[in-house]
Every structure is written in C-alpha cells, then in structure tokens.
Chains A and B, each alone.
Chain A
Amino acid sequence: MSRKNKKYDRERWGLKESICTFIPGTKDFGTMRSRQARQGVAFILPFIIGFIFFMLTPMLNSIRMSFSTVVQNPGQGYSYTFIAFRNYQNALGVDPGFNKYLVEEISRMGVNAIATIVMSFVVAVILNQNFKGRTLARAIFFLPVILSSGVLAGIESQNEFYDMMAGMAEAVGKSSGVNISAALQDLLSVSGIGSGVFTVLFDMIDAIYDIVMASGIQIIVFLSGLQAISPSLYEAADVEGCTAWEAFWKITFPMVSPLLLVNTIYTIIDFFMKNDNRVMERINTVMYSQFDFGMASAMSWIYFGVAILFIGISAIIINRGVHYYED
C-alpha cells in the first residue's frame, strides 16, 4: 500500500508546481523533478502540437459545421449559417438510406465482432499447440492484415459483376443444394427450433471469409497472451487431476481474458473505419458529390457517437468478467 502511495506521489502534480515548472526564476523551476518534466514535455511536444492543430481544431470546426449550413464562396473560403440541429434531423430523417445503412452496418458489426473474437481465440489456441508448420500457419493467418488493408479491401466489392455473381451463386445454391450452409439452413429451419438464432448463425458461416480476413491482429494478440501463461500452472493442475477441458476454462480463459478487451476495442474500431463500409460511402457521397459539408459532418458525428457507445458498452460488459492476474 505504501509503495502505491509513493508512486502516486511521484506521478502527482499540483497546480502551483505544474505552473512553476515552466516559468524560469520560480522556486520549483530548478528542481530535478521539474527539469525532468520539461524534458518529458519536450519529447511529447510533436504530439501536443499535432493534436491541437490537426485534431482538436478540425474537431471543433467539424462540430461547428455540423450545426450549420456551409456555403463555399469562390475565392473567399467558407461561410457558416447556424441552423441548430437541422443537419442531424435531416441525416436521420430525410436522407434516403443513411439511417438504414447505419442500422444495417451496426447489426452486421455486432455479429461480426463477436464472431471475430471467438474465431481468433480458437485459432490462437490451436496455433499455440505444438505441430509441424506452425510458423507457416501463423504467417498465413497474419497475411490478411496486409492484404485486406486500405484500397485492397473494398475494390472488389465495388464492382457490379461481383454483386451479380454473388446473387447468382446464391440462386444456384438454393435450387440445386450445392450450397451446404443453405441446405442445412433449410433443414434446420423446417424443424422450427429458434429460427432466428439459426439465421444469425448461418450469416456468420457465410461471412467466414470476412471474419478470417479481419482477425489477423487479434490472433497474434491472443497468441502472445497464451504464450505468457506459465507452464507450471498446467503442470500443477495436471497433478491435481484436472482434465484438459477444465484446465482450459479455469486457467487458459481467465489468463487471456484481459486481452479480450483490447481485441474487442480493436475489432470495433477496425470495423468502423473500413473503406467498404456503406455508411462511410454515404458520407463520402454527401461530401464529395453534393458538397454538403454540414450534413457530412453531422453524419460523421452520429457515426462516431454510435462507435463510442458501442466501445463503452462492450468495455463495461467485458470488464465485469475479466480477471486481472497480479503477481
């Protein structure tokens, strides 16, 4: 406890001391502590400058834009007219498609995020075992981080042909029963048990390519967590007569659970920023084709608000179940 208090003191800066640190001639200016503090600030100075000018200013500006109509005057820059919440109302109520896309993307994200986490955890557990070609498998699973980034992610789905082919494949699958998941779905939905659950499940199975492509980083993070577990824990459990199944739930899962939070947040952010996201497309259209900057900003803020809400909720839920191991 005392150690913690001491640390707390070291990191603690009173108001007077903080100000004196940066003003020459004052009492606290010459101390080792304030000299160190000045060095620290010097190190992070690029970030402070950048954050204020390229993040905070545009953010405030963007909030202002979202509450006004922006008109571009040739050669004069831009003029703003304050219209309160009109842009937000328009984005949610008037704009064709925006709220539909928003709901669609969010529900898709909810399902895919859970599937990605589960999938990457299972793959990480498998990759953590000893077998031939482990390095190769690890390398291949990480490949999507490179191959599905930026322009490479969205380019193919933008093509009409792709949509047409997907539609055709679906039709063929339905009629001839070639598509295994569709056939299974038919079978199970006939039996009438919780068809809603099955629909979600089969959507996941159909989306497995997307899920694997999105889980490169998460697999590595889980894998590192798994490798950090000391083998002696398993030995002790084994001696006590613990089965592999029990060991998994009592040792592996709790030890890796802190990483669940990191991975969930990463997955959600990753999903929200993807290029092939339809909400993003809509925002881009409004901005670059219709030049309605106010509306585009309002849409972005709604989108960001939803993202934050999601991250917050999942952080709270996960933090409940997480076990932090202290040594």
Chain B
Amino acid sequence: MKTDASAVKHVSKRDTKYVVKSKIKKYGISIARGLLLFGLCFMIIQPLIIRFSTSLMVESDLYDSTIVLLPRHVTLDNYKIVADLTNLPRSILNTLWTSLLVSVCQVIACTLVGYGFARYSFPLKKFWFACVVLLIIVPPQTIQTSLYVQFASFDLFGLIPALGGKPLNLRTSIVPYVLMSLTCMGLKDGLYIYMLRQYFKGIPKSLEEAAYVDGCSTMHTFLKIMLPDALPTIASCFLFSFVWQWTDLFYSRNFLSSYSIYSVQLSSIVSRMSRYFAQGSDVAVVVPNARQQQLIFVGVLICSVPLIILYIFTQRTFVESIAMSGSKE
C-alpha cells in the first residue's frame, strides 16, 4: 500500500512538471498567435480608421503636425463638398438600381446554366464547360475594344439591317449590359456559374429522381426542389455580384457612361476638384495634394460604408459559399 502511495506521489509530481511545461507552451503559442492575428487585422482595419478621422478634419488640421488621428476641429463640410463633386444622391441611387438589376439578371442566368452543367448530359458538354473556364480566365479588357465597336453600331447580329433598319448606337443605354448579364457575360459570371454548378453537383441525385417518379415535371422539380435547396448559395452569388458591381469601374465606364454611376464619378473626382473650388472666380485654383487626398478618402468612405454595413449582416453567407466552391469535385 505504502509503495503504491509513494509511486502515485512521484507520478503526480512528474505530472505537475509536465502540466506546467505544456501550459507555458500553450500560452506561449496563443500569445504569439494573438499578436500575429492582431497585427494583421489591425493592418486591414487601420486604413478605415485613418480615413474616417481624416474625413472629419478641417483643412488646417491636415497641415498641423501635432494632429495625428483625432481632429481638433470636427466638421462635416468635406462630406458636403464630395457630395457636390460626385453628384451624390443621384449617383448613388443610380449605382443602387443598376447594381440590383444587373446582379439579379446575372444570378438568374447563372443559376440556370449552373444547374444545366451539374445535372444534364448533352453533346459537347465538356466543350461548353471549357468555355466557362475560358470566360473565367480571359480578362474582359482583352475584348473591350471590339465590344466598344460592336455596341457603338449595334445591328442585333445582322438582323436589323436585314429588316431595313439602321444600326443602333447602344453605348448610351443600359440595354447591352443587361443583355450581357442575362447571357452570363457580365462581371465575373464564370465564377458564379462555377460556384453554383459545384453546389448543384453536391445535392443527391435521388432527390430529383424521387420527384420524377412521383410525376414532377423538369421545371417543377427545378423550381420546387432544387432552387429552395440552393438558396443560400444563390444568395451569396447575388451578394458578390451586387458588391462587385457596386465598386466596378470597368463595365460601368464602358456601358453605363450616361448614368452618372458613383464609381465612375469617384474615379475622376480629382480632375473636378479645381473647377469646383474655383467657382465664382476665373483664377484657377490649385488644390493642395493633402486636401485632394482627404477628399478622396471621403469619397472612398461614402462608397464603402454601405458595403461594410451589408457585410456585417451577411458575413456568414459570403464566407460559406466560397468555402463550398473551393472543395474539389
């Protein structure tokens, strides 16, 4: 009995030493991890904080080297100036409805196409899927010149002249872009097709087969069984599409030039500043660089705050769909 007890004591002593050692190791690792993560996260968040505080400063605060983060005189004038410069309520409303329209069109088209690729076998399927991959990797900039020409004199692929009409100049309307979105050729559509196909592939086939056996039609099966199941993925494709369309410059500049889109306004904000500050006088005003930078900060904030709010509420949807599409087939 006695030997046993001493053995237990001995073991427990060794145990304590081991426990202490492993505890130190554990805490060491978690402190290092915490520091690293905090540093990286801070790096991502910091520009936002700086932009926000700079946006509230009076111009003289910018040149005061004693002011680092907190403004001495808080003002909202900068927001007013930027609102004037970017034609604000109009441009953001335009951005809102065009982004909504375009992303709805994109998601509808991509869902259908993704389902077709995931579930059906048809001639040339591999070829068409290779085309989807091509769509993902060809930068739209490669074809921008010829798209520009194509829509500048749009003849509906030779149909309009055949019917005796004249080619239309569609560059000033939203029609070409909606057409492109409805046919999966919009911004990053290849990616959405891929994501949705990946999801539909993961749904058990027996679900549909059961529906067919019970006499459900194809369309009915798709609408009543597959769609509700895929809703989270569709929602996240919609969110991505909306957000990317919101900040997009390339398509907006090429196709929506007549609508006063916020991102386009923002991209040319610097060139409009000197004219704005010279109002009422003929003397050209040179806007100091720091001031330009400050106003750009304000513009960027106005653009990104709605997105950040959207992101806070829908964070899960964003992240989970990406996690799913990454899984290899």
A interface residue numbers (CB < 8 A to B): 10-11, 13, 17-18, 21, 33, 36-44, 46-51, 53-55, 57-59, 61-62, 65, 77-78, 123, 126, 129, 131, 137-147, 149-152, 154-156, 158-162, 164, 208-209, 212-213, 217, 220-225, 227-228, 258-259, 262, 265, 269, 272-273, 275, 280, 283, 287, 293, 296-297, 300-301, 303-304, 307-308, 311, 324
Inter-chain contact B143/A62, CB cutoff 8 Å: yes
Pick from A137, A209, A272, A287: contact of B41, CB under 8 Å? A137
A146 and B311 within 8 A (CB): yes
Q: Of B33, B167, B308, which contacts A131 at CB under 8 A?
A: B33
Closest 10 CB pairs of A and B: A40-B120, A50-B183, A43-B116, A150-B247, A161-B289, A18-B123, A221-B326, A224-B323, A61-B146, A37-B122
Per-position binary interface string of chain B over residues 234-267, scored 1 when its CB falls under 8 Å from any chain A CB and 0 otherwise: 0000000001101111100000000000011011
B30 close to chain A: CB less than 8 A: yes
B112 touches A44 (CB 8 A): yes
Take A151-B247, A258-B328 as given contacts and tell me if A37 and B289 are in contact as well, using a CB distance cutoff of 8 Å. no
Q: Is B109 an interface residue (CB 8 A)?
A: yes
Which of A10, A209, A283 has a CB less than 8 Å from the CB of B121?
A10
Q: Which residue of B lies closest to A59 (CB)?
A: B143
Known: A140-B45, A141-B41. A40 touches B184 (CB 8 A): no
Most B CB contacts (10 A, CB to CB) among A78, A155, A272 go to: A155
Chain A residue at minimum C-beta to C-beta distance from B188: A273
Cβ-closest chain B residue relative to A156: B296
Closest to B321 in A: A220
B129-162 near A? 1/0 per residue, CB < 8 Å: 0011011111111111111011011000100000
**Which stretch of B13-21, B64-72, B73-81, B299-307 is in the interface?**
B299-307
| Cα–Cα distance between A280 and B250 once the two chains are bound (Å) | 11
- Beyond A46-B183, A224-B324, A304-B142, 14 additional pairs, beta carbon < 8 A: A36-B120, A39-B120, A55-B135, A58-B146, A143-B44, A143-B311, A147-B308, A150-B263, A152-B247, A154-B267, A213-B44, A259-B328, A273-B139, A275-B250
Interface residues of B, count at CB 8 A = 88
A300 contacts B292, CB within 8 Å?
no
Q: Which one of A65, A147, A156, A222 contacts B304 once the chains associate, using CB atoms below 8 Å?
A: A147
How far, in whole Å, are A287 and B264 apart by their CA atoms in the complex?
A: 18
Q: Which residues of A contact B246 (CB under 8 A)?
A: 150
User: B122 near A13 (CB under 8 angstroms)?
Assistant: yes
Q: Which residues of B contact A155 (CB under 8 A)?
A: 266-267, 296, 299-300
Taking a contact as CB atoms closer than 8 A, the residue among A53, A140, A164, A297 that contacts B145 in the complex is A297
Q: Does B58 contact A (CB under 8 A)?
A: no
Q: Give 29 pairs: A residue, B residue, CB < 8 Å, sorted on A.
A: A18-B123, A42-B116, A44-B112, A47-B109, A47-B128, A48-B128, A50-B180, A51-B184, A54-B179, A54-B185, A77-B149, A77-B152, A142-B315, A147-B48, A150-B244, A150-B247, A151-B303, A152-B247, A158-B270, A159-B292, A161-B289, A220-B322, A224-B327, A265-B137, A273-B140, A280-B141, A300-B145, A304-B139, A324-B328
Q: CA A220 – CA B320 in complex, angstroms? A: 8
Q: From residue B159, how far is it (CB to closest CB) to chain A in Å?
A: 11
Given contacts A59-B142, A159-B296, A224-B327, contact A126 B289 (CB under 8 A): no
Given contact pairs A140-B45, A307-B137, A18 touches B115 in the complex (Cβ within 8 A): no
Query: Quick one: given A43-B120, A220-B326, are A208 and B249 in contact (CB under 8 Å)?
Result: no
Asked, given contacts A44-B113, A139-B315, A142-B319, whether A304 binds B138 with beta carbons under 8 Å apart, the answer is yes
Name the CB-closest residue of B to A133: B37
Bound CA–CA A11/B250 (angstroms): 39
Distance between A61 CB and nearest chain B CB, rounded to angstroms: 4
- Write the nearest CB–CB distance from B56 to chain A, whole angstroms: 18
* Chain B residues, Cβ within 8 Å of A10: 121
Contact partner of A62 (CB less than 8 A), chosen from B142, B263, B304, B326, is B142
CB interface residues, B 282-317, toward A, < 8 Å: 289-290, 292-293, 296, 299-300, 303-304, 307-308, 311, 315
Is B43 in contact with chain A by the CB < 8 A criterion? yes
Q: Report chain A residues within 8 Å CB of B146.
A: 57-59, 61-62, 65, 297
The yes or no answer to B230 lying at the interface (CB within 8 A) is no
Give the docked Cα–Cα distance between A135 and B72 (Å). Answer: 36
Q: Does any Cβ of A come within 8 Å of B272's Cβ?
A: no
Chain A min CB distance to B19 (Å): 18
How far is B307's CA from A161's CA once the two chains are assembled, in angstroms? 27
Residues in chain A near residue B324, CB distance under 8 A: 224
CA distance A62 to B322 in the complex (A): 33
List the B side residues contacting A304 at CB < 8 Å: 138-139, 142
Q: Does B85 contact A (CB under 8 A)?
A: no
- In the complex, the answer to whether A209 meets B145 with C-beta atoms within 8 Å is no
Query: Which chain B positions have C-beta within 8 A of A17?
Result: 123
- CB-CB under 8 A from A208, the residues of chain B are 43
Contacts of A213 in B (CB 8 A): 44
Chain A residues in 8 Å Cβ range of B48: 147
Contact partner of A44 (CB less than 8 A), chosen from B43, B128, B145, is B128
Least CB distance from B196 to A in Å reads: 11
B193 located at the interface, meaning its Cβ lies under 8 Å from any Cβ of chain A in the complex: yes
- Given known pairs A141-B40, A149-B247, the reply for A58 and B319 (CB within 8 Å) is no
* B137 lies within 8 A of A159 (CB): no
With a cutoff of 8 Å between Cβ atoms, the chain A residues found around residue B136 in the complex are 269
When A262-B326, A301-B142 are in contact, do A13 and B123 touch as well, CB less than 8 Å? yes
Residues of B within 8 A of A162 (CB): 293
Tell me whether B119 is interfacial, beta carbon within 8 Å.
yes
Interface residue B90 (Cβ < 8 Å from any Cβ of A):
no
A40 touches B121 (CB 8 A): yes
